[in-house]
A and B are shown apart, each in its own frame.
Chain A
């Protein structure tokens, strides 16, 4: 492979600048592929050498922080860990839908996720104040691991961008929201009951709105078990609703 001449890549990027009233339009950039090149490397090369005004968001560039969700050839994914060699010579990049557009590939996931956190109260609800000097309360080791399994969500927004329901119901909590409820529901430190959770997600903007298209499950970069969690939550919430 190293003896081959490198591929010439075309990155076709959906540009826009709402602050200047510039409508979305496609613009092609040409870069020479390098070994191990990721979209992080390619986009920075474009900004450093071709167009310093290009907007995009990277933070950790290691697939951990969730900043760089975008549509890569139409599919939501993390740009930092997408290797160009896994794509054809023409790669299209567009900002994630649903979220407010800042410009080019940059969208405002932060406000959306903060709104979700406030709405679903994604924190431990406990009446007791912990005694920090005392030996901590024990937890079943397997349970701690099961909670972490759902705690791995990085709020990248790929599931939101891949959600069919969100196209029709803009107040739908999305897989990210439902997964958080599943996570806190599993956690014995959170004293909320299923009745409490029903108040949060027991309607069409919650778990009953999901059309089970499950694009979320397919595109989740962390491979979270969204399909089973949504199905399980729906069953639990039906049980509350029937009471």
Chain B
């Protein structure tokens, strides 16, 4: 029995995990990162368009601040997010961008003077201020009032991941590559680390830690059509669920990105539309203004994806041998712009489609893209129900995004949550609660239990095929738990997924060799992925309203009166075939921004009885405080500063600040 001890165990080597690890390390604690792949191969690298932070350096970003970013984020979430977390996030985001600048990210910079851009299909001249020359630039993205998305061409995630990964090397943090956590070690509501499988040798090792952090990203691969990398199978979220102590939040909140190339599902950035690209149909008609006169192509992703599918259903899709799609037209941006700002898009178009996006339209259709749901944590990033377990980034339901995440807010969340959770883990490790009290007998028990499960797959004479089960799961999710959802289809999906889960207990693995065994890996992962799929499908079936990315054709209105709450999915009995659902109310009486119209999309929400009184209360507070300091008004509206780790408190300076 091999046991490794560390202060902090971080599971996942993407941006969130790396940044959390650096934070804890800088506070003097030993940290080990586990990663399925070399850290720089993590899916963070695929984030293209940029990261939102209200620096306000560009002409179109002037006047931006935390307040505007906060409101955009809450509206984007369709009032499903935790508003205190959103406040915490928008406060720390400018610091995160500036920290990354110091760590070497070559952010695109403002060039003073006039420049031509494309907005709403027309060429427009913007004039950048001389005093902003050389400061960090921003581009437009969907669902935002200001140009706020800081970027590095369209390789933003890559540049960020390399800077933070190299920072982790500089800090001497070991990354144990090709290591997969397959169970959490826990007892009495306290997490003690993880059982980890070496993907090269097949050996099981126990990593025992004072604090454990899951930062394994999303679970897009439960769908057939997804922009996600092949490693985004949600195993981190699944092992948290399997503890029976932690729970998953809002798993039915799944984002579909409007523009993935058809049919491969590879992402082309929202920056294409932010920079002026248009969506067109089979007739070459620009259709988004017909549906969304306010924000057009730059409404939030849930709205644009739905409108696109609606337009295809209305018979305006482009027919191809693989099915129907629409066009993304960025030809109007010009070759020079594409070569400089959209070069990954150009490479993807050339290699996968054989086209030049400066001359040809790009075939696109929405595909699964992002998991708003994940391990439910508090604002400090600690999991509900399991002390010593933290989560951050896409793996977590922190809950910044509610039912729809804004473009540019996820890669921002990775580093911001990493900054915050890194500090909070360090605090935890230094507190009495962080003391390690774990017996090796318990560790042995967990190791033995996991080995027994693997042995059953290898020697249990099971006859089911993991590949078949996995493919069927992915089909069900894409066909029945997609953009448009209906009670009858969701019921079918839940029934079929339960049957698959039962079949998955009888999977047999033919490859019996020691060491690397992709067949065995596929087998134990699909057992876990099915539980996630059931959390998504069953949560979606129960939620009889439409909110953000969760759209029920049979319940098309947002229902604040009954559904202003977060779904919590638990799995306490390993033999149950459905998650146990509970709900956590979002309290309108404490919201800084009570529910209303988002500024795009539907206007027919069913109001919560507390909304009008809270709106009146907020108006009264604003009236009473008049021109008082912003921080004082904030304290009266919705305090959040107590959630900000000490080192990140203070005022984010901007160009032209009066102070």
Interface of A toward B, CB cutoff 8 Å: 2, 17, 19-20, 35-36, 38, 47-48, 52-55, 57-67, 81, 83, 102-103, 106, 108-111, 113-114, 117-118, 121-124, 126, 130, 132-141, 144-145, 147-148, 151-152, 154-155, 184, 187, 189-190
Contact present for A189 and B159 (CB under 8 Å):
no
**B336-358, CB under 8 A of A: which get 1 and which 0?**
00001000100110011010000
Beyond A60-B43, A81-B351, A110-B37, whether A117 also contacts B169 by CB under 8 A is yes
A133 touches B515 (CB 8 A): no
Interface residues of B in 27-82 (CB under 8 A from A): 37-43, 45-46, 55
Chain B residue contacts of A17, Cβ below 8 A: 513, 515-516
Chain B residues with CB under 8 Å of A62's CB are 46, 266-267, 348, 352
- Contact residue range for chain B? 35 or more
Please, which residues of chain A bring their CB within 8 A of the CB of B515? 17, 19-20, 103
- Known contacts A47-B518, A52-B518, A126-B102; is-contact A144 B229 (Cβ 8 Å): no
- CB of A19 within 8 A of CB of B104, answer no
Q: Are B516 and A130 in contact (CB under 8 A)?
A: no
CB A189 to nearest CB in B, in angstroms, measures 6
Q: How far is the CA of A124 from the CA of B40 in the complex (A)?
A: 17
Instruction: Verify if B433 is at the interface (C-beta below 8 Å from A).
Output: no
Distance (Å) between the CB of A113 and the closest chain B CB?
6
Residue B166 is within 8 A (CB to CB) of chain A in the complex: yes
A63 touches B351 (CB 8 A): yes
Q: How far is the CB of A108 from chain B (nearest CB, A)?
A: 8
A-B contact pairs, 25 of them (CB 8 A): A17-B516, A19-B515, A55-B516, A57-B37, A60-B229, A61-B229, A62-B267, A63-B347, A64-B45, A64-B344, A106-B516, A113-B40, A114-B169, A114-B175, A118-B169, A123-B103, A132-B98, A133-B652, A135-B653, A136-B101, A136-B136, A138-B135, A139-B106, A145-B108, A155-B38
Alpha-carbon distance between A232 and B606 when the two chains are bound, in angstroms? 66
CA distance in complex: A132, B347 (Å): 35
Flag the segment in B150-158, B243-251, B453-461, B581-589 that touches A.
B150-158
Q: A residues within 8 A CB of B153?
A: 145, 148
Q: A36 → chain B, closest Cβ, in Å?
A: 7
When distances are taken between beta carbons in the complex, the residues of chain A under 8 Å from B648 are: 132
CA distance in complex: A229, B604 (Å): 59
Q: Which residue of A lies closest to B109 (CB)?
A: A141
| Residues on A with beta carbons closer than 8 Å to the beta carbon of B104 | 123-124, 184, 187, 189-190
CB distance from B658 to the nearest CB of A (A): 14
Query: A137 CA to B40 CA in the complex, in Å?
Result: 27
Residues of A within 8 A of B158 (CB): 64, 151-152, 154
The one of A59, A83, A117 in contact with B37, judged by C-beta atoms closer than 8 angstroms, is A59
Residue among A17, A122, A132, A151 with max Cβ neighbours from chain B (10 Å)? A132
How long is the Cα–Cα vector from A189 to B655 in the complex, in angstroms? 21
A47: chain B residues within 8 A (beta carbon)? 518
In the complex, per-residue mask of B483-517: 1 if CB is within 8 Å of any chain A CB, else 0: 00000000000000000000000000111011111
Cβ contacts under 8 Å, A20 to chain B: 513-515
Q: How far is the CA of A141 from the CA of B58 in the complex (A)?
A: 13
Contact A189 B109 (CB under 8 A): no
Bound together, the chains give a CA A42 to CA B651 distance in angstroms of 54
Question: How many whole Å from B61's CB to the nearest CB in chain A?
Answer: 13
Find out whether the CB atom of A121 lies under 8 angstroms from the CB atom of B134: no
Q: CB distance A140 to B654 under 8 Å?
A: no
Q: Are A135 and B135 in contact (CB under 8 A)?
A: yes
Q: Are B655 and A135 in contact (CB under 8 A)?
A: yes
Is B571 in contact with chain A by the CB < 8 A criterion?
no
Residues of A within 8 A of B109 (CB): 138-141, 144
Contact of A136 with B108 in the complex, beta carbons under 8 Å: no
Picked from A35, A38, A123, A132, the residue with its CB within 8 Å of the CB of B321 is A35
Task: Select the residue from A83, A122, A123, A187 with max chain B CB neighbours within 10 A.
Answer: A123
Indicate if B620 sits at the interface (CB-CB under 8 A): no
Q: Roughly how many angstroms separate A8 CA and B62 CA in the complex, as a whole number?
A: 59
Q: B169 and A141: CB pair below 8 A?
A: no
Chain A residues near B3 (CB-CB < 8 A): none
- Which A residues touch B467, using CB under 8 A? 48, 52
